Structure 1
Amino acid sequence: MRHLSGSVAMSLKVAIMQPYFFPYNGYFRLFSAADMFVVLDCVQFPRRGYVHRNQLSDSQDNPQWLTLPLLKADRDATRICDLRFAPAPLNVMLDQFRRFPCLTKLTAIPGLSRSILDFERTPVEYLVDNLRQVADLLELRRPTILSSSLDISSEFKAQDRIIEIAKRVDARHYINAPGGKGIYDPRAFADAGLTLNFLSEYQGSFKSILERLLTEDAKTITGELQRNTILEHVSV
């Protein structure tokens, strides 16, 4: 990892989050508010979360799951970075696509279309590349790295792991989603030389960004995101 120096290091803001499968627009506020995005892939895979699935509208405008075809693995010991695709993942995905009218418009965004259909990579690479595709469409290009590339010791758990990741990339400010307010101790971050900030509660659509990009103008989505990228400082 290349270390930053001088005033850059003193002001670097980092966001650290699990890679979600085409999350809602509010997720991308982490790209907007931070200078660097660290993909938290060195932690346990949450089977009921949004890492491998999201909801899109079916032909009756009802939300239904679109799920990545993953190879079965140990329920309690599989990290996100260790995930692998099940056999014939493209066929499985295309079969699911038939339920979602918005996906007939994928060819209108060629880069996104190619990315969502490319399974010649690991699931975490797939997820990160799709996040980058969306960030580009929203004009939110940020340096993005995998936490697994930092070789963080297993002795660091939960909050301590986040702090260690932030220190490894020479960050001075940690940006987190509002859901983390009850999890993180501001004093622990301050003692590590880090400022802790939370995004405000999101006041926009919670639909998958994939469906929105295929049915709305990207500038409208970006405007909504910018209006909602408000940081709340946490006092120690």
Structure 2
Amino acid sequence: MSKTVVIHQPDFMPYLGFFHRFLEADLFVVLDHVQFVNGTSRSWTHRDKIKTPQGEKWLTLSVKKAPRDTPINRVELSDTVDWAGENLDLLARNYRKAPFYEDIMPQVEALYKAPAHLLGEFNLRSIEMLMDMLDVRIPLVLSSTLEPVGHKNQLLVDLLGKVGATRYLSGTGARDYMEPPLFEAAGITVVWQDFAHPIYPQQFEGFTPYLSALDALFNCGVDGARELLRRKP
């Protein structure tokens, strides 16, 4: 029996493409035991982008300083910075005139106002909130509960084997470091995501792709964002 699995870090408020893979998958393995990466262009675990009159801007969670090799599931949110208030203020200032602000903002406020201590837990709650809004239903399992072994491609193959995967649905950004023979030897077929970012009405001038899914929700509403996610290229 075929079983398609997605593996990815628990990113914060991800973009539409993050959820697009879930439409074609049977399980989401949350890669929460790997090192938290900060300070690079690939740092998406604690931040994502929104749109402002001045262009793109980071919506960022403040975290406590930790050793370099600290896994995502052990990173603590700051208790000295009002990151929740700052984030909500930033969203309010830039989306209060969006067509569906009054529909979406209460759910975002509820997310931020719930007690939060760990980055991974907060991110998972943000992902689950967006999954509900986008009507994407898929079970998930934390990699930290699977006694993971190996690094990079070997780690992926190990996790896929432990959850009984026959197909691995990967984002195209992984093409440069993927080693297909390792997957083939384990009886796993690698499938590449086919996602063309939809264009939709946004605030401010022009269209900016790859923003947090919040942008689509504020501008298009729940029904509109669901349609965008399922729109064929």
Deviations 1:30-87 (A, max 9, x none): 21121111111111111131110112223x2422212101001112x11111111111
Cα gap change, 1:186/1:140 in structure 2, threshold over 3 Å: closer, same or farther?
Answer: same
Report the more deviating stretch, 120-129 or 108-117.
Answer: 108-117
Q: Deviations over 1:186-233 (max 9, x none)?
A: 2211110111101125333312112221222223222222235x8xxx
Unaligned runs of 5+ in 2: 199-208
**Aligned mate of 1:98, from 71, 86, 89:** 89
* CA shift in 2, pair 1:103/1:146, >3 Å: farther
Q: CA RMSD in A?
A: 2.1
Do the aligned residues in 2 keep the contact of 1:102 with 1:211 (CA within 8 Å)?
A: no
For residue 127 of structure 1, what is the amino acid of its counterpart?
A: N
| Equivalent residue, structure 2, for 1:41 | 32
- Counterpart residue number, 1:188: 182
Contact preservation (8 Å) 2:36, 2:72: yes
- Helix, strand or coil for the counterpart of 2:90? coil
TM-score normalised by the chain length of structure 2? 0.84
**Is the CA contact 2:6–2:25 (under 8 Å) kept in the aligned structure 1?**
yes
1:80-122 deviation per Cα after TM superposition (whole angstroms, max 9, x unaligned): 1111111145x23213433332455766334443123324342
Q: Does 1:159 align with 2:153?
A: yes
Deviation, structure 1 residue 25 = 0.6
Q: Tell me whether 138-147 or 91-100 shows the greater mean CA deviation.
A: 91-100
Q: 4+ residue runs of structure 1 moved beyond 6 angstroms?
A: none
8 Å CA contact retained: 1:132, 1:141 = no
How does 1:192-203 map onto structure 2 within 5 Å? 192-203=186-197
SS class of match (1:217): helix
Measured in 2, the distance between the counterparts of 1:99 and 1:126 equals 18
Choose from 94, 119, 126 the match for 1:123. 119
Name the amino acid aligned to 1:79: P
Cα distance in structure 2, aligned partners of 1:166 and 1:106? 39
CA contact (8 A) 2:48 2:211 kept: no
C-alpha spacing 1:82/1:107, structure 2 compared with 1 (3 Å): farther
Letter in 2 for 1:142: I
Decide whether aligned partners of structure 1 residues 107 and 145 sit closer, same or farther in structure 2, where only a CA change above 3 A counts. farther
Q: Hey, what's the Cα distance between the residues in 2 that align with 1:144 and 1:88?
A: 32
Identity of aligned residues (%): 27
| Contact map agreement 1:102 1:214 (CA 8 A) in 2 | no
Other-structure match for 2:201: none
Contact 2:103 2:221 in 1 (8 A): no
The answer to whether structure 1 residue 209 and structure 2 residue 213 are counterparts is yes
- The gaps in structure 1 that reach 5 residues or longer are 1-9, 231-236
Q: Does 1:170 align with 2:174?
A: no
The partner residue of 1:179 within 170, 173, 177 is 173
Is the alpha carbon distance of 1:120 and 1:42 closer, same or farther for their aligned partners in structure 2, counting shifts above 3 Å?
Answer: same
What is the match of residue 13 of structure 1?
4
Q: What is the CA–CA distance in structure 2 between the aligned matches of 1:150 and 1:106, rounded to whole Å?
A: 39
Residue 205 (structure 2) aligns with = none
Match of 2:61?
68
State how many pairs are aligned. Answer: 215
Amino acid at match of 2:73: C
Contact 1:119–1:126 at 8 Å: present in 2 too? Answer: no
Secondary structure at 1:212's aligned position in 2? helix
